[in-house]
A and B are shown apart, each in its own frame.
Chain A
Amino acid sequence: MRDVVQVDAEVIATRRVGAYHHITFVAPGVAELARPGQFVALSVGGDSSANLLRRCFSIHKVSPSGTYGGTVDLVISAVGPGTEWLSGLRAHDTTSMVGPLGRPFPLPKEPVATVLVGGGYGSAPLFWLAEALRERGCRVDMVLGAATESRLFGVVEARRAADGVTVTTDDGSMGHRGWVSDVLPAIIADHGVGVVYACGPMGMLKSVTDVAAAGGAVAQVAVEESMACGVGVCMTCVMPVAGNDGVTRMVRSCVEGPVFRGDRVRWDAFEGGVCRVPEDALGATAMRAH
């Protein structure tokens, strides 16, 4: 059976949500196959575009059997030419979509208490994750953080999707002034949280991993590495992650991720927007030879 499709996706609705664009695409096949935490890769700029590489976006939600066929919702932050172009799409415009891609968030077998942490648009994939967790009897708290109010996504939706919601902003324009890592320890302690799920900037994912470990919880983090293909063929999206055998490898975040156990990621290798190969990583010796 096919586990991925490549389709011309048609926009059926687009709306502004704070600093973001929330777009609904009809994408037959993608919705039926997708799980929370997976992503799609979109072509940008039209057929004669000079922007060759696909752009990757977490799936916000899917409706496998909408009026128009399966739909896929994405939340897009316009930061460069590709995301600008996508933000300008109107109803009935189309673009090529490949998905679903990557590994979804693993769901606990037992009903444990969970916290879902989203930084900025990183909250986008957490709402249908919350649904899946609650179906399994898990308690779900949500922590949404951003630099400022307009960069939060889904605060209203969170109140419906979760048992408890905490909001933080760096500038205090909404919720607690500060970072998600300031409020997380108390939530983990209060509810005996077993799993922390997080999606957002790398720095946030690292601190969530640290806070989770300190509170005795497992962190499952969805990373965002620069990707050229999204399907595992180019090797641009790698990061150092330790395997079950304890050996660190430069693994492809598009196929082996984007969700990793936080304590397996070699955060020590990331600094100042670059990631080096740890000296003990598999194959690092051969790189020093030539």
Chain B
Amino acid sequence: MATDTIGGFDASTELGGIRLPNPVMTASGCAANGKELQRFFDVAQLGAFVTKTVMLEPRSGRGTPRMAETPSGMLNSIGLQGPGIRAFCEQDLTWLKARGARVLVSIAGGTAGEFADVAAHLRASDAWDAVVGVEVNISCPNVANRGQVFACDPTTSAKVMTLVREQLPRDTPIIAKLSPDVTDIVSIAAAVLGAGATGLTMINTLLGVVIDTDLLRPQLGGLTGGLSGPAVRAVAVRAVWQVRAAMLAGQIPTAPIIGVGGIATGRDALELVAAGASAVQVGTVTFHDPSAPLRVRDELTALVRAKGFSQFTDVIGIAHERIARP
């Protein structure tokens, strides 16, 4: 696979045996499935394109209002609107493949079995060879457990990974996307890595509520929503930091981390990388600047290069070696 080299600088990164030409991706649900952003830049230029989480059947999503702006961020309650895995494979994945994009497909289910069914349909798709990995969005409600999200419970999270793993070839990276709304994110990371996950994406949105003070009622139709944007960046850096530290300490298996949360610039991306991320995703800021994912790629590579490194992978987790202890 091609490597982005700029003036001798090697921008490539590795994700569970798959080499990506550069470390910058879209974030699931913040880029639709490619066509819309292709009007602004070539999605095949990204390290990978991460698709909107898809489930087995078509979903209408929730009613509106679905969003509220918050300081340096927003709250959303989309409700995983999507076409269902069959239409996704026939239309969206096929389109992405024709563009030459590397696709990280985000999947979810209301039961552990549904996750596996979605993975099986994906594996059977004619466009499967465009898939560089599967991101498993476990921050979605578990029907069997009164709607509590899978990601809050190590046992159900692990079960999802085991069942998805059974449906996919051994060399397909399976990336578990974790929620920061847990007491101990390291224990969830340990559970999913123990159950066959190749790597981790951190973080999904944080649960929030906005009250409309004119009407004195919650602003979102779905009441609660997921908080994202620069407002959550420090939480994302913390999550990546804690999990990477646990890997370095030998408490959990070493695995690649994809950092996401509040990235607006190459500098922001470098924070997550220095904390331990091998790749990054640009989400909410794409709504502000539709060219943001590619801009962040250019800013990040220029910044790492300007700091005197010859390859991107040299800065992954570097902050753990440079702790200043007072």
Interface residues of A (CB under 8 A from B): 2-4, 6, 43, 50-54, 96, 98, 225-226, 228-229, 231-239, 249-250, 255, 269, 273-277, 281-287, 289-290
Measured CB to CB, the closest approach of chain A to B309, in angstroms, equals 28
Q: How far is the CA of A275 from the CA of B62 in the complex (A)?
A: 9
Q: Quick check: B290 and A233 within 8 Å, CB to CB? A: yes
Q: Which residues of B contact A54 (CB under 8 A)?
A: 287-288
Report if B13 contacts A (CB, 8 A).
no
Interface contacts beyond A232-B32, A283-B57, A286-B57: sample of 9 additional A-B pairs, CB < 8 Å, sorted by A: A4-B40, A52-B284, A54-B287, A226-B67, A228-B67, A231-B39, A236-B78, A275-B221, A287-B61
What number of residue pairs across chains A and B have CB atoms under 8 A from each other?
135
Contacting residue for A228 out of B31, B74, B141, B230, CB 8 A: B74
- Chain B: minimal CB distance from A143 (Å): 28
Please, how many angstroms separate the alpha-carbon atoms of A235 and B226 in the complex?
14
Set of chain A residues within 8 Å of B90, measured between Cβ atoms: none
Q: Give chain A nearest CB distance to B7 CB in angstroms.
A: 27
In the assembled complex, the CB of B49 is this many whole angstroms from the nearest CB of chain A, namely 12
Distance between Cα atoms of A3 and B36 in the complex (Å): 11
Contact among A226, A236, A287 for B59, CB-based, below 8 A? A287
| Given A232-B32, A236-B67; A52-B60 close (CB under 8 Å) | no
A–B pairs, 25, beta carbons within 8 Å: A2-B39, A43-B289, A52-B230, A52-B288, A53-B69, A54-B288, A96-B289, A226-B64, A226-B67, A228-B74, A231-B39, A231-B40, A233-B37, A234-B30, A235-B52, A235-B81, A236-B66, A237-B64, A239-B64, A274-B64, A275-B63, A277-B61, A277-B62, A283-B84, A290-B143
Q: Which residue of chain B is the closest to A43 with respect to CB atoms?
A: B288
B301 contacts chain A at the CB level, 8 A cutoff = no
B-side interface mostly: loop
Instruction: Decide if A236 touches B69 in the complex (CB within 8 Å).
Output: no
Decide if B71 is an interface residue (CB 8 Å cutoff): yes
Give residues of chain B (41-88) contacting chain A, Cβ–Cβ below 8 Å: 52, 55, 57-67, 69, 71-74, 76, 78-79, 81-82, 84
Instruction: Decide if B8 is an interface residue (CB 8 Å cutoff).
Output: no
Residue of A with least CB distance to B221: A274
